[in-house]
Amino acid sequence: VSEKKTSRPSEFDLIAGLFAPLAKAPGAYGLRDDAAAISPRKGHELIVTTDALVEGVHFLPGDPPETVARKALRVNLSDLAAKGAAPVGYFLALSLPARLPYAWLKAFASGLGRDQKTFCVSLMGGDTTSTPGPLTLAITAVGSAPRGRMIRRAGAKPGHDVFVTGTIGDAGAGLEILSTRAGREARTAASVQKLINRYRLPTPRLKFGQALRNVASAALDVSDGLIADLGHIAEVSGVRIAIEAEKIPRSSALRAMWGDGIEAIVRAATSGDDYEITFTAAPGRAVAAAAKKAGVRVTRIGRVEKGAGVQLLGGTGEIAVSRAGYIHF
Amino acid sequence: VSEKKTSRPSEFDLIAGLFAPLAKAPGAYGLRDDAAAISPRKGHELIVTTDALVEGVHFLPGDPPETVARKALRVNLSDLAAKGAAPVGYFLALSLPARLPYAWLKAFASGLGRDQKTFCVSLMGGDTTSTPGPLTLAITAVGSAPRGRMIRRAGAKPGHDVFVTGTIGDAGAGLEILSTRAGREARTAASVQKLINRYRLPTPRLKFGQALRNVASAALDVSDGLIADLGHIAEVSGVRIAIEAEKIPRSSALRAMWGDGIEAIVRAATSGDDYEITFTAAPGRAVAAAAKKAGVRVTRIGRVEKGAGVQLLGGTGEIAVSRAGYIHF
């Protein structure tokens, strides 16, 4: 029994050649089965999250395949990080346009391999299909956390402080640079490269997320925009979150590009794709200790109050924000 | 902070209105978090599989949204069934074209809800994004099996018998009816409706799969085509599989449409989408007992031998098959 040969390797050759070498975990069976077997270690449970990325929506057609792969993996690991989970493995559903060259897929798989090493995670299974549309990929990431200790969105209480890791707005500025003519002309400066890199290659705060397990009362990662994402915590926790605009941490590269006024702050707070962790915690020294332990910069940006919604506070009172973050539709 | 309103409900409204009611399992947190928490019960491990479906590739643009949803769920449950796992939950990544009406999504969610009840499974998490391309969905299904007892593709040994559940080729005939003019003209007959239904709504053999746990030496579900899929078992197990063409079980509806000759048999054996379980087992009474227990028709179609590949045997010897099954690219 022979199979029809086409110019591009078949699904089976793709899996064997590019993806099977990434599936080293015992339960992945080298992708030579229909399913993977996963057990949490004693006293732990599995934490599972899924995110889809579409060419032209979540990444740009010209983005390097290596960073497309690594970003797809990292945005899922970022969800695990914000929940206090340690990554275990991931599943990859790939829908590929016929025009996609083999070299693109090879670089894509190489990007996955590189980040697997960085984050101690293994491909556990997947599916490849063809599509007449844009390249679409869905990753389902599996992590592990002590049973019942996943950091939830619900749990913020009036009197708690609000924090965020790293700096906010860089990825949005990076996307702007990649999408506009002005951006293309400015691409040479080192600070501009830094912003592009924040868009293409977010850093999941895995070590810090695990350090937050017994510290944070609520947490999530900033994907839609700081204000929009804090809105999710406010809604599910049944509280108001008041943010001091001036305290939102911004990089010098971002200040150089967008300036330092209130409009620039609002823009940073409503940009997506930062993949920092924003969280709430009872006042005390635990947050600073966790930040030191993980080597991560953490900034207190506001407080939790009775009420509902997110307030952005400037020198003269509340600042109106018309666009809380990236709207998916 | 207010959000931009569009004519279609936002991602958040979609999730709250249509999908959150499907997420009743405790660890799903009503989809109000970034991840789900899942523990296998004592002595069990989690079995995880993922499958993507693309409009125009895996289902037809005119297919009813209810059956698109149910098929997407069922093809994943079918993978769990063939591995001997009991379903627990699933994750859904949906990439939606802007033109898709809300009513379509409502019917889609309703189809999921219906099958959740049938198969005792809960939505655990997901992601919805927009796409400029065709509707694309990826489901990651999670099941449970006694630790180390997942039925593998590897394990078939010379001397074992080869079996398949139900009938083969019906789904391929159903697809042909839906795709051709001759088919459209013949759609009224009850037997034709039966074939269409086999294409649109496969039946995952969950109860039988679990009954096979200590019986089958190797198993998988027939998605690409009987011969192609048996080829996977032959390859991974390092054996030859010899099939007696006349024994491949075919429905009377299929015989009425394709006839009864060797060409019709080859066509059935190389059609995809049947989602029956094909498996190998040591000779004995255990297979018949498992079939009786689960109320499933099982047919012995061949035997495992030393060697490699799949042989289809007719009255006069080996039958040449040029197309082993559905080729993805």
Cross-chain Cβ contact B236/A33 below 8 Å:
yes
Is B143 in contact with B83 (CB distance < 8 Å)? yes
CA distance B322 to B329: 16
Say what the pLDDT of residue A241 is: 97
Contact flag B6-A310 (C-beta cutoff 8 Å): no
> What residue of B is the nearest CA neighbor of A28?
B48
Percentage of the residues of chain B whose pLDDT score is greater than 70: 92
Query: What is the distance in angstroms between the CA of the first residue and the CA of the last residue of chain B?
Result: 47
Tell me, what's the pLDDT at A6? 41
pLDDT tens figures, B232-279: 999 999 999 999 999 999 999 999 999 999 999 999 999 989 999 999
CA distance A283 to A324: 27
Q: What whole-number distance in Å separates Cα of residue A72 and Cα of residue A77?
A: 9
pLDDT tens digits along B50-88: 999 999 988 888 889 999 999 999 999 999 999 999 999
Over range B153-164, report the average pLDDT: 98
pLDDT above 50 (res B5): no
- Beta-strand pair A136-146/A44-54: antiparallel
β strands within chain B, DSSP E: 36-38, 44-54, 86-97, 122-131, 136-146, 161-165, 216-221, 240-244, 277-281, 298-305, 309-314, 317-319
Structure tokens at A172: 């949005």
CA distance A59 to A68: 7
Angle between helices B226-237 and B262-269 (to 10 degrees): 60
Q: What does the pLDDT average to over B104-127?
A: 96
**Which of A32, A36, A45 is nearest residue B39 as measured by Cβ atoms?**
A45
| C-beta of residue A230 within 8 angstroms of C-beta of residue A97 | no
Q: Is A98 helix (H, G, I), strand (E, B) or coil?
A: coil
Residue of A nearest to B150 (CA): A37
Q: Which residues of A267-281 are buried (b: 16+ CB within 10 A; e: fewer)?
A: bbbbbbbbbbbbbbb
Token representation of residue B177: 């009816």
Q: A251: closest CA among A271, A224, A221?
A: A271
Rounded (10°) CA dihedral B308, B309, B313, B318 = -80
| C-alpha span between B79 and B299 (Å, rounded) | 20
Q: Nearest CA of chain B to the CA of A228: how many Å?
A: 9
Chain centroid to CA B155: 21
CA A237/CA A220 separation, integer angstroms = 12
Residues of B within 8 A of A138 (CB-CB) are 50, 52, 93, 127, 138, 140
Q: Which of A250, A242, A205, A246 is nearest to A223 (CA)?
A: A205
A79 C-beta neighbours (distance < 10 Å), count: 28
DSSP class of residue B10 equals P
pTM above 0.95, yes or no: no
A157 φ, ψ (degrees, to nearest 5): -130, 145
Cα separation, A105 vs A83, in Å, equals: 31
Amino acid at B134: P
**Contact at 8 Å (CB) between A295 and A241?**
no
Tell me how far CA of residue A29 lies from CA of A294, B87, B220, B242, in angstroms: 34, 20, 14, 25
Reading chain A (329 residues) residue by residue, the pLDDT tens digits are 333 334 456 766 777 789 999 999 999 999 999 999 999 999 999 999 999 999 998 888 888 999 999 999 999 999 999 999 999 999 999 999 988 888 999 999 999 999 999 999 999 999 999 999 999 999 999 999 999 999 999 999 999 999 999 999 999 999 999 888 666 666 668 888 999 999 999 999 999 999 999 999 999 999 999 999 999 999 999 999 999 999 999 999 999 999 999 999 999 999 989 999 999 999 999 999 999 999 999 999 999 999 999 999 987 777 777 656 554 44
Rounded Cα distance between B252 and B9, Å, is 46
Across B278-302, average pLDDT: 97
Give the minimum alpha-carbon distance from B134 to chain A in angstroms, rounded to a whole number: 6
> Average pLDDT, stretch B272-294?
96
Is B312 in Cβ contact with A1 (below 8 Å)?
yes
B120, pLDDT greater than 80: yes
pLDDT one-digit tens code per residue, B187-208: 667 888 999 999 999 999 999 9
* pLDDT over threshold 80, residue B1: no
Q: Which amino acid is residue B120, in one-letter code?
A: C
Q: What is the pLDDT of residues B307-327, one digit of tens each?
A: 999 999 987 777 777 656 554
pLDDT at B15 over 90: no
Q: Give whole-number Cα distances, B189 to A191, B167, B175, B196, in Å.
A: 69, 19, 15, 11
Cβ density class B125-156: b for 16+ within 10 Å, e for less: bbbbbbbebbbbbbbbbbbbbbeebbbbbbbb
CB contact under 8 A, B4 and A128: no
Which H/E stretch holds residue A155? none
CB nearest to A236's CB, from B32, B58, B142:
B32
Q: How close, in Å, is residue A211 to chain B by CA atoms? A: 18
Q: Residue B9's pLDDT is what?
A: 67
- Mention every residue, 6+ apart, whose C-beta is less than 8 A from residue A58: A52, B129
